[in-house]
């Protein structure tokens, strides 16, 4: 991959920048998920109507069919413009939809993909379970075949936006007696189906964004299975690779902006004269640049192979842990003013508290290290 962009890509960047400058909402996205739902839907619809939703998705499903390089440019400009996080649309747009494009039937794609892009259907992820955590191979939620349906029983936890979702990408065990990654299936679950109950969980930042979901004899049509019964592990791996691929580009642009703001703050309050603080700020600035370079390398892998490889776990791990250190530095620079924080405030303390979830969501830091050790370094499996 060449480092840099050609004339066509540069013109595309200018097109992105011009539209974002004219359309990014002046009002901030509400902090709480329930309050933000209508905001998220309205913003997603504006993106779709202008042709900016799913720019790399196939044209027949509402996308623009553009290249992954153009997707990267769009995400970079999106973050630079301080455009809103897509919030409740995150799961559907960033990995549910791409997973359907790669693995679903034509009927499944035709029904779900346009609804995701328009913001008409909110999706959540049903991977983590009580007792299994991020160990997807350890899940126990089961689906037994009865006629033309799976009858599902069990529970999922840490399910972001479950209380507002219409659909769920649900991984469950469909083969009796199967162990680990064998006998799993990836299915589309209607979150309004009888037998589903949802218990929201309040985070230490004061927000309610995720929940525990219970399944009591929930009937899911067999036609909702994606990629075939028993192939859930393979389909789920493609889901997670999308999340760990281009899904963090906007975060990296934000981190680059954040480190510049932290350095400005340290200069303004004189703490830059502390050698330890100055050293840490310099180290983090270098790491932000290294992270962007690793991401571009990963993008070149996607261009060659068609999908992200296990290298994306390095980016996933590095981005989340660097983000936590940046937010911790922000609180340190605030000094005693950090003690005035109130739950619900939109400031660095809020980001610091929320940042603890970054090394848990989408696979814990330990899971990422296991993937790196086994699939990149060729070390023996840990279990």
Q: Which residues are catalytic?
A: 243
Beta strands at 167-173 and 196-202: parallel, antiparallel or unpaired:
unpaired
Beta strands at 167-173 and 184-190: parallel, antiparallel or unpaired:
antiparallel
**Buried b vs exposed e over 12-22: b needs ≥16 C-beta within 10 Å?**
bbeebbebbee
d(CA 143, CA 154): 9
The two most distant CA atoms of the chain are separated, in Å, by 72
Beta strands at 149-160 and 196-202: parallel, antiparallel or unpaired:
unpaired
d(CA 114, CA 175): 32
Q: Is there a contact between 110 and 154 (Cβ–Cβ < 8 Å)?
A: no
H or E stretch covering 8: helix 7-23
* Residue 270, both tokens: 């004189």
Q: Is there a contact between 334 and 349 (Cβ–Cβ < 8 Å)?
A: yes
Which residue spans within 96-165 are E strands per DSSP? 123-126, 142-146, 149-160
């Amino acid at each position: 991959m060449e480092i840099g962009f050609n004339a066509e890509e540069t013109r595309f960047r200018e097109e992105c920048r011009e539209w974002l400058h004219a359309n990014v909402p002046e009002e901030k996205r509400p902090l709480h998920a329930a309050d933000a739902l209508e905001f998220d839907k309205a913003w997603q619809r504006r993106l779709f109507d202008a042709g900016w939703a799913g720019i790399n998705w196939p044209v027949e499903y509402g996308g623009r069919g553009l290249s992954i390089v153009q997707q990267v440019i769009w995400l970079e400009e999106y973050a630079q413009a301080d455009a809103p996080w897509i919030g409740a649309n995150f799961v559907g747009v960033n990995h549910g939809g791409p997973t359907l494009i790669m693995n679903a039937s034509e009927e499944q794609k035709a029904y779900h993909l346009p609804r995701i892009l328009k913001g008409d259907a909110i999706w959540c992820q049903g991977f983590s379970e009580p007792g299994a955590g991020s160990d997807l191979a350890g899940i126990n939620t089961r689906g037994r075949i009865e006629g033309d349906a799976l009858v599902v029983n069990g529970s999922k936890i840490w399910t972001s936006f479950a209380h507002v979702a219409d659909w769920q990408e649900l991984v469950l065990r469909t083969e009796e007696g199967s162990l680990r990654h064998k006998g799993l299936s990836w299915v589309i679950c209607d979150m309004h189906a009888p037998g589903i109950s949802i218990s929201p969980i309040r985070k230490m930042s004061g927000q309610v964004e995720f929940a525990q979901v219970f399944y009591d004899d929930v009937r899911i049509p067999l036609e909702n299975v994606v990629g075939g019964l028993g192939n859930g592990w393979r389909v789920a791996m493609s889901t997670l690779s999308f999340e760990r691929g281009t899904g963090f580009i906007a975060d990296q642009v934000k981190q680059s902006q954040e480190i510049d703001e932290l350095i400005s703050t340290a200069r303004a309050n004189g703490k830059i004269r502390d050698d330890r603080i100055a050293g840490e700020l310099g180290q983090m600035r270098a790491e932000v640049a290294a992270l962007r370079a690793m991401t571009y390398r990963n993008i070149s892998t996607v261009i060659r192979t068609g999908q992200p490889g296990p290298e994306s776990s390095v980016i996933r791990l590095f981005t989340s842990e660097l983000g936590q250190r940046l937010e911790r530095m922000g609180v340190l620079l605030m000094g005693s003013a950090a003690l005035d924080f109130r739950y619900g405030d939109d400031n660095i303390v809020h980001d610091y508290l929320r940042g603890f979830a970054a090394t848990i969501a989408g696979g814990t830091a330990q899971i990422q290290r296991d993937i790196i050790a086994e699939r990149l370094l060729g070390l023996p499996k840990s279990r």
